[in-house]
Structure 1
């Protein structure tokens, strides 16, 4: 391992620890706009039970999303955006 590589790695780890402790702000943040899950489900015409079965998630997870106590992440956000624009897609699942 070269000294330059080690120095860069050590500096990155130090910065990550400062950010985790709240002593520093990250250089960039990534956010995802999450559509209104309850509205998306309403557009499909499905009950919570039916919608959660189609998505292969627990009804409790869906309830948490709809109530805003939890948010979908990653691919689930993309899926919700697609269903928001085209609710019929879920019928093919």
Structure 2
């Protein structure tokens, strides 16, 4: 490994440690606003049961999100953002084409 690159990596690790220990401030911080789950659901026109099914979570989990006792994280938060941005596309994509039996 190039000595300059190695020195840069070591310096970055030292800075990260200082930030983690509260001895330095990060150069920038990104804060993402959480979607209002109830507002997103109401915008779709779906009941709690149908929206929970769409999100692949239990109704109880959805209720906890709507009442701000819990916050969606990871894939659920990403899916919620997609539903908030393009509800028709998300619903159509998640339901898939109708199957004829």
TM norm structure 2: 0.66
Contact kept in structure 2, 1:35 and 1:80, CA below 8 Å: no
Give the aligned length.
90
Contact kept in structure 2, 1:52 and 1:62, CA below 8 Å: yes
Q: Distance in 2 between matches of 1:13 and 1:28?
A: 16
1:48 aligns to 2:48 (yes or no) = yes
Note the aligned Cα RMSD (angstroms). Answer: 2.5
Q: Radius of gyration: which is bigger?
A: 2
Structure 2: where are the runs of 5+ without partners? 95-101
Q: Which residue of 2 aligns with 1:81?
A: 84
Correspondence list, 1:1-93, <5 A: 1-68=1-68, 69-73=70-74, 75-83=78-86, 87-92=87-92, 93=94
SS at match of 1:16: helix
TM norm structure 1: 0.70
Greater RCO, CA 8 A, separation 6+: 1
Contact kept in structure 1, 2:36 and 2:66, CA below 8 Å: yes
- Name segments (4+ residues, structure 1) moved above 3 Å: 57-61, 71-74, 87-91
